[in-house]
Amino acid sequence: MCIRAKLGRTGFARLHKAEPYATEARAFYNSPMRLQLSVALLFCAAASAAGNAVPTIDESLGMKSVAGAQISPDGRYVAYTVQQANWDENDFYTQIWIAVPATGERYQLTSGKKSSSGAQWSPDSRRLAFTSDRDGKRQIYLIAPAGGEAAVLTAEENGVGGIAWAPDGGAIAFTSSGPDAKTRKDRKDKYGDFEIVGGDYTMNHLWLLKLPAELPADPKKLPKPEALTKGEDFSVGSFSWSPDGKRIAFSATRDPDLGSGDTETLYVLDLADLHVKKLLASGGPSGNPKWSPDGKEIAYTTSNGQPFFFYANRYVAVIPAEGGQPRLLTKEFDEDASLLDWGPDGIYFSAIQKTAAHLFRIDPATRAIRRISGPDAFLASGASFTKDHRTLAATGAAPNRFPEIFVASANDFAPKYLTEVAAQYKDFRLATREVVQWKSKDGAAIEGILIKPADYDPARKYPLLVVIHGGPTGADNPVLSADRTYPVERFAAKGALILKPNYRGSAGYGEKFRALNVRNLGLGDYDDVITGVDMLIARGIVDKDRVGAMGWSQGGYISAFITCYSDRFKAVSVGAGISDWMTYYVNTDIHPFTRQYLKATPWDDPEIYRKTSPITYVSRAQTPTLIQHGDQDKRVPPPNAFELYQALQDRKVPVKLILYKGFGHPINKPKQQRAVMEHNYDWFSKYIWGEE
- The C-alpha atoms of residue 167 and residue 154 are separated, in whole angstroms, by 20
Q: Which residues pair with 350 in a beta bridge?
A: 338, 359
CA angle 550, 553, 556 (to 5 degrees): 30
Strand order from edge to edge, sheet including 91-100: 65-71, 78-86, 91-100, 105-108
* Cβ neighbours for 445, distance < 8 A, ≥ 6 positions apart: 437, 439
| 571 three-state secondary structure | strand
CA distance 196 to 87: 38
What pLDDT was estimated at residue 200?
A: 84
pLDDT of res. 160: 95
Query: CB–CB of 291/318 below 8 Å?
Result: no
Which among 655, 619, 653, 441 has a CA at the least distance from the CA of 533? 441
Q: What letter does residue 107 receive in the DSSP assignment?
A: E
pLDDT score, position 32:
36
Q: Which of 326, 331, 341, 410 is nearest to 367 (CA)?
A: 331
Cα–Cα–Cα angle for 672, 674, 678, nearest 5°?
Answer: 120
CB 555 within 8 A of CB 470: yes
Sign of the C-alpha dihedral, residues 423, 666, 86, 176? Answer: positive
For residue 111, which of 90, 87, 86 has the smallest C-alpha distance?
Answer: 86
Pairing of strands 445-452, 432-439: antiparallel
Q: Which residues of the chain have pLDDT under 50?
A: 1-51
Distance CA(127)–CA(129), nearest Å, equals 7
The whole-angstrom separation of Cα 463 and Cα 542 is 6
**What is the chain's length?**
692
Q: Angle CA(137)–CA(110)–CA(224) in degrees, nearest 5?
A: 40
- Within a 13 Å sphere around the CA of 549, how many CA atoms are in the beta-carbon half? 28
> Cα 627 from chain centroid?
22
Note whether 228 and 248 are within 8 A (CB). Answer: yes
Say what the alpha-carbon torsion angle 639, 644, 645, 647 is, to the nearest 10 degrees.
Answer: 120
Rounded Cα distance, 253 and 63, in Å = 38
The residues with which 449 forms a beta bridge, in sequence order, are 435, 500
Measured CA to CA, the distance from residue 589 to residue 29 in angstroms comes to: 62
Q: Are 508 and 353 in contact (CB under 8 A)?
A: yes
Q: How far apart are CA 388 and CA 302, in angstroms?
A: 27
Torsion of CA 10, 84, 51, 500, to 10 degrees: 120
Summary count for the chain: helices (H), strands (E): 14, 36
Q: What is the pLDDT of residue 12?
A: 26
- Taking the C-alpha atoms of residue 360 and residue 350, their distance in angstroms, rounded to an integer, is 6
pLDDT at residue 7 in the model: 30
CA 63 from centroid of its chain's CA atoms: 16
Residue type present at position 437:
Q
